[in-house]
Amino acid sequence: MPFLNKGRACRSSREERSKYYAFDEKSGLAYTEVVVRAAPMRADWVWKTRGSTAEIAKFRSPETGSSTLLNMAIRKVCLNVVNMTPESLIGLDWHAGKLLWERIVALQIDSLYAWRMFAAAFPDETNESLKRRYQIIQIPNMVLSDYTKHLHSQSFQWITFLTLSHVTCSYSDLMNLSKFSNLGALTIGHGVEVSNSTSKGIDDRVIRAWARASAESGAFSALQVLACRMQLLITRQTFDRLTEFPTLALFLVEGCSIGPRDRPHAQRLGWRYSTGKDLSEVLVGSGIWAPSWNSTMHACFQKATDICSATDISPLSAKIDTLPRLHFAIGAAPSDAVVDVTGDRSLRCFHRAIPQRIVQSLQQPDIKRPLENVVQNETASRRVVRPWKKQKVGDFMTEFGF
């Protein structure tokens, strides 16, 4: 319902009065109409795309001449991509799935929902847009848990990198991250603060609480990289509990209260400092000469996976390394400036270097649900659709002779 602002009509032309004012004949009042947009009833960012299925012209066949039956089938699927379910991709071979996914990406209708379905259906494929996805929510309007619940995958269909920056989170939301089973990398970035707290940023107590959850309940079973940026309350005491994270192999600090004088303390607790040369070599080896934080996180995760495999910290690291990766950033995006990973002034890197006898004592039990038992449907229940909408994509394309 529009708000009513009482006031006298301005002494201008009738055209301007009709443009800015409305007139109530019964009361004789002039008022302005203000439209107030309500918050969406569902998480629309999960389905949000840059393209639109309403742009029918872009869905035509890219070739000249008459459209083939295959292009007609792909176009029909693209027009109904919102109604697709994970079950509809069961039995679809990768040759057809690749053509369909490439067309979805070209039309810019590759929402997070669509990506999750294809990543779960084709986890072993090396398509770059399917293997890695980077998404940013620059102006969040929900609590942290409302975002992270769409990033979970209990059956490890993908690995999530979570980056927080310039947001305020409650203490309970931060603690609930311990239930994030497929969280592979976590970044507490610039401007992250805890609500109802007198101090700015997170401190060692949050890290200790996460470590306690790891030791007592096996939380963070896939977390291999932890990064803290511009968190002045993170000190050397953090190293006292880092070994309680079962699979943590890399700890990155930038702009924190950890300096060169703290290296001996970290090394006594099993964390060896490196200048970033190894990380730089990983980046350069991947063809990245000017790393952003997104590419840096992928390189860190790759290095952490190699450390886990070399030291037997996590027997599942080899399998986790092959899974699709979703890097999800909440809050104003950090600067795209090149990250300094080669020197000692910016990003400091501590990697795990624990003797084997200590590693064995810290081993946590394997994940309760093996990676092979992939559950195809983890999405929330949706409204009942008509039977024809439940048709599998493979069967649909077969009808067109593909």
Q: Where are the alpha helices (DSSP H) in 9-68?
A: 14-20
Q: What is the DSSP letter of 68?
A: P
pLDDT of 265: 93
3-state DSSP call for residue 22? strand
Counting beta carbons within 10 angstroms of the beta carbon of residue 185, is it exposed (0 to 12), middle (13 to 18) or buried (19 or more)?
buried
Per-residue pLDDT at 54: 62
Euclidean distance between CA atoms 144 and 378, whole angstroms: 19
Tokens of 50: 């840059």
Selection from 81, 88, 96 nearest residue 49 by Cα = 81
Tokens (6 digits) for 265? 């303390």
- Alpha-carbon distance 368 to 376, whole Å? 17
The pLDDT of residue 182: 92
Question: Cα 301 from chain centroid?
Answer: 14
Residues whose CB falls within 8 Å of the CB of residue 20, separated by 6 or more in sequence, listed in order: 10, 32
Cα separation of 130 and 43, whole Å? Answer: 22
pLDDT of residue 366: 43
pLDDT value at residue 11: 41
For position 326, what pLDDT does the model report? 93
Q: Which residues contact 55 (CB under 8 A, 6 or more apart)?
A: none
* The pLDDT value given to residue 15: 41
- How many Å apart are CA 301 and CA 161, to the nearest integer? 9
First to last CA, the chain: 52
CA 334 to chain centre: 15
pTM of the model: 0.75
Among candidate residues 67, 45, 222, the one with its CA nearest the CA of residue 141: 45
pLDDT in tens, the chain (402 residues): 333 333 434 444 444 444 456 778 888 888 777 766 554 455 577 878 777 766 555 556 666 666 678 778 888 888 888 888 878 888 888 888 898 898 888 888 889 999 999 998 888 888 888 899 999 998 888 889 889 989 998 888 999 999 999 888 888 999 999 989 899 999 998 889 888 777 778 888 899 999 999 988 889 989 999 999 889 899 999 999 898 998 899 999 888 888 888 999 999 999 988 766 666 776 666 666 556 788 888 888 888 888 887 777 766 666 788 889 999 999 876 555 566 666 555 778 898 885 444 444 444 444 444 434 433 444 444 444 455 455 666 665 666 555
pLDDT at 224: 93
Residue 29, helix vs strand vs coil: strand
